[in-house]
Amino acid sequence: MARAADGFYLRAAPAERRPPPAARAGAIGWLRANLFSSPGNVALTLVCAIFIAWTAAHVLRFFVLDAVWSGADREACLASPANPEPGACWAFVRVWLSYFVYGFYPIGARWRVDLFFLALAFGIAWLAWLAAPRRDIGAFYFFIVLPILSFFLLSGAPLIGLSAVPTSLWGGILVTIVVATVGIVASLPLGIVLAFGRRSDIAVVKFFSVTFIEFVRGVPMITVLFMASVMLPLFVPERFTPDKLLRALIGVALFASAYMAEVVRGGLAAVPRGQYEAAQALGLPYWRMTALVILPQALRVTLPNIVNTFIGLFKDTTLVFVVGIFDFLRTIEAARVDPHWATPVTSVTGYAFAAVFYFLCCYAMSRYARGVETRLARAHRR
Amino acid sequence: MRAAWKRAWRARIGVESTVMENPRNEPQAAAPHAGPAVEVIGLHKWYGDFHALRDINLTVARGERIVICGPSGGGKSTVLRCINRLEDWQQGRIVVDGIELTDDPKHIVAVRRDVGMVFQHFNLFPHLTVLENCTLAPIWVRRMSKKDAEELAMRYLARVKIPEQAEKYPARLSGGQQQRVAIARALCMSPTIMLFDEPTSALDPEMVKEVLDTMVELANDGITMLVVSHEMGFARQVADRVILMDEGQIVEINAPKAFFDSPQHERTRLFLRQVLR
C-alpha cells in the first residue's frame, strides 16, 4: 500500500488478514517471560525458590519422612535411637480418628453417621454437578428429604428401632459438618429475605431488618452463640427449651444470615435500574420480577462473596465449643492432652490434621465456586 | 400431555384459529376497549420542587401513531413512562385502554400487560438467552405453556428478522439486534399499545435503519404507537401526529406535514431549525 504524500488516501485492495504472531511457546518460553525476564526478577525468583525449598524440606521431613505412622501409645512417638528426632505422630491421629469423626456417638450406632455422610455427599454431588439429570429432584432431596432423613438417622427414631442418641454425645467432624451445612443452607435464604427487607418500602420491615443485621454484625460471633445458648431458653417455656446443639445451630444461622444479607444487598444494588423497569413494563409482578430477573443477576455477581461467607462460616463453626459442643477442633483439643499420648509432637500433629481437614473443605468450596463463576461468565461474554 | 389436551379443548370450543392468528391466547382480553387507547388529562408531575410535567393533556386514538420530539429534559420520556406507570405523578389522570391508572397494583399490572415498552438502552435480561427474554413474560404473566410461548417468540423473532440468534445471549448481539430483540420481547405480550423511548438514540449510525424499518413495519400493522424520537424522517413517514414538548409542556401538536412545513409555534420553528439545519 502506497502512502500518499499529500495526506489523502484511497484503498485499492483490502489489507490481508493474518494470524496473530506466534507467542513464545513452550515451558522455557513461559519461564523466561514470567520468572527470568530481568535481573531483579531473576533475583526474586532465586530467593523465592530457596525459601520454598527450605520450607518444603522441613515440612516433608517432619510430616512424612520422620513421621511415626503406627504405634500403641506415646512411646512410639518419643525420641529413640532409631528415630532421634521424631516427626509428626500420625499414630496418635490413627488411634483417635474415630473420636475425631464421631465424638462420643455410640459405637454400635456409628453406621448411622456413616450413612448420613453418604446421603449428604450424594445430595451435594447431585446439586453441585450442574449437568446432573433431574436437578429439581436433587433439590427436593437435598432440602426436604435429606434434613428429615438426617434428623431421624442421627438423633434416632425409637419407633423404627433406631435408638435415641442425645446431641450431647455427638461430636467431631459430624458436628462440624452438621453445623456448617445447616448454617450454609439456612443463611442464604435468610440473608436474601433480610436483604430484601432492608430495601423494603414498608417501614416496619425495613426497621426490623436493619436492626437485626446491624446488631448481629456489630457483636462477635461468640456473643451471638452465648445469647442463643443462654437467652433463648429465657424466651420459651421450659419444656420447649431447644436442645443445646439446636440453639448453637440457630445462633450460627442467624449470624451468617446477617453477613449474607449485606452480601446479597451489594448484588441487588449492582442490578441496573433498567432491569427493574424492563421487567415491570412487561407486567411481571414484584415477586416474579425479583425471582426471575433481579435475583439471578444479583446472585451471579455476588457468587464469590457468597462463597467467601460460606468459607468464613465453615471455619467459624469451631467457635461452638464455647457453648460446650464438641466440634472437630474441640475433639482434637481434648485428645491432645491425653497423657497416654503426651509427646512434644502430639499437639502439632493434631493441629496439622485439623488444618488439613479445614483446608481441604474450604479449598474445595473455593475451587467449585471458581468453576461455576467461569461457567456463568462464559455465557455473558461477547 | 397437558398441552395436547389444551389444544383439543381449544379446537372444541373453536378458539384454535384465533390462537393461531392472534397470539394473545387469552380469552378475557379478546375484546379491545372501544374508547381511546390512551387518555392523559391534566397531568402534573414534580421532582421535588422541580415542575417536570405541566398540564399535559393528550388523547391517543386506537391505531394512532404519535411521535414526540423536543429538546432533552423537556419531559418527553417522563410522559411516556407515566403511561405504563414506571413514573408516578402528583396530579391528573391517565386512562389506558379504559383502565384508570391508580395506585392499585391490579390496575397497574393490567395496563402493563397491554402496553409494550422499548427502551433507549434495550434493557434485555443479560442472564437469559434471546428466546428466554421473549418467553419470560408470556409464560409468567400470560400463563402460556413453554412450548406455545416459544412458538410465539420465534414468530416475532422472525418478524424482526433475527430468528437465528434465538439461542444466543444478548451480550453477543449488536446494538441494533438487541433493540430488535427488545421489540420482539415487547410484542410477545401482544400489546395493543407500544411505547418507544428513544429507541435509536443509543445505536451506531449504521444500525439505526434496521430498527426504524422494524418500527415502520409495525406501524403499518395498525398498532397504537407512541414514540419519543429525534428521527424526523421517521416522524414524517409514519406519524399521524407529531408533538413538540419543551420544559415539561406540550408546545404543539400537529399533523406531520404541517408540523414540518408550517410549524405554528415559535419554539417549534426554533427546534426544527436546530434539528434539521
Phi, psi of A160 (to 5 degrees): -105, 20
**A55 found inside a domain:** no
Which residue from A minimizes the CA distance to B174? A382
Q: Are B58 and B40 in contact (CB under 8 A)?
A: yes
- DSSP 3-state of B110: helix
Q: Are A193 and A212 in contact (CB under 8 A)?
A: no
CB contact under 8 A, A285 and B109: yes
Q: Name the residue facing B137 among A272, A284, A380 (closest C-beta).
A: A284
- We report the CATH number of the domain holding residue A257 as 1.10.3720.10
d(CA A156, CA A143): 20
The pLDDT, as a whole number, for residue A117 is 94
List Cβ neighbours of B86 (8 Å cut-off, separation of 6 or more): A277, A280, A281, B117
For residue A217, the Cα-to-chain-centroid distance in whole angstroms is 19
Say if A377 is an interface residue toward chain B (CB within 8 Å): no
Which residue from A minimizes the CA distance to B182? A278
* A-chain residues near B140 (CB < 8 A): 284, 288, 292
Burial of A236-259, coded b for 16+ CB within 10 Å and e otherwise, reads eeeeeeeebbebbbbbbbbbbbbb
* B-chain residues near A293 (CB < 8 A): 125, 136
Average pLDDT over residues A242-251: 86
Q: Name the residue facing B112 among A272, A280, A381 (closest C-beta).
A: A280
B181: amino acid identity, one letter:
V
Phi, psi of A103 (to 5 degrees): 65, -135
Average pLDDT over residues A193-213: 93
**A316 found inside a domain:** yes
A78: pLDDT confidence band, cut at 50, 70 and 90?
confident
The pLDDT, as a whole number, for residue B26 is 39
CB contact under 8 A, B169 and A284: no
d(CA A206, CA A204): 5
**A135 found inside a domain:** no
**A215 found inside a domain:** yes
Low-confidence residues in chain B, pLDDT < 50: 1, 6, 8-31
CA distance A99 to chain B (A): 47
The pLDDT, as a whole number, for residue B18 is 38
d(CA B264, CA B269): 8
Average pLDDT over residues A125-151: 87
pTM (2 decimals)? Answer: 0.79
Q: Name the residue facing B140 among A274, A292, A380 (closest C-beta).
A: A292
CB contact under 8 A, A281 and B86: yes
pLDDT at residue A128 greater than cutoff 80: yes
**A76 found inside a domain:** no
CB contact under 8 A, B113 and A381: no
Say if A312 is an interface residue toward chain B (CB within 8 Å): no
**ipTM of the assembly?**
0.83
**A22 found inside a domain:** no
What mean pLDDT is reported for chain A? 88
* Residue-wise pLDDT tens digits, B90-133: 999 999 999 999 888 889 999 999 999 999 999 999 999 999 99
Which residue from A minimizes the CA distance to B108? A283
Domain tally, chain A: 1
* B-chain residues near A379 (CB < 8 A): 127, 169
Say if A292 is an interface residue toward chain B (CB within 8 Å): yes
The pLDDT, as a whole number, for residue B24 is 42
CB contact under 8 A, B119 and A277: yes
Range of the domain at A306: 165-380
Under 8 Å CB pairs connecting chains A and B tally to 67
Bridge partners (DSSP) of residue A218 are: none
d(CA A196, CA A207): 12
* B-chain residues near A300 (CB < 8 A): 127
Integer angstrom CA distances of residue A381 from A106, A283, B93, B168:
54, 29, 44, 11
CB contact under 8 A, A296 and B127: yes
Q: Name the residue facing B113 among A283, A293, A379 (closest C-beta).
A: A283
CB contact under 8 A, B112 and A288: no
* Residue-wise pLDDT tens digits, A23-44: 666 777 788 888 888 899 999 9
Q: Name the residue facing A282 among B105, B121, B141 (closest C-beta).
A: B141
Q: Name the residue facing B171 among A280, A284, A381 (closest C-beta).
A: A381
A163 HSE (CA, 13 A, CB side): 9
- Of B43, B80, B57, B22, the residue nearest B198 (C-alpha): B80
pLDDT at residue A3 greater than cutoff 60: no
Q: Name the residue facing B189 among A279, A282, A380 (closest C-beta).
A: A282
The pLDDT, as a whole number, for residue B253 is 94
**A38 found inside a domain:** no
- The DSSP symbol for A307 reads H
**A329 found inside a domain:** yes
* Residue-wise pLDDT tens digits, A82-101: 778 888 889 899 889 999 99
Bridge partners (DSSP) of residue B250 are: B245
pLDDT at residue A79 greater than cutoff 60: yes
- Alpha-carbon Rg for chain B, nearest whole angstrom, is 19
The pLDDT, as a whole number, for residue B35 is 83
Considering only residues A178 and B8, tell me which one the structure prediction assigns the higher pLDDT: A178
Best of A280, A282, A293, A382 to disrupt the B interface by mutation (most B CBs within 10 Å)? A282
Instruction: Give the full edge-to-edge strand order of the sheet including B91-96.
Output: B50-60, B38-47, B91-96, B99-100
Considering only residues B185 and A169, tell me which one the structure prediction assigns the higher pLDDT: B185
CA distance B126 to chain A (A): 7
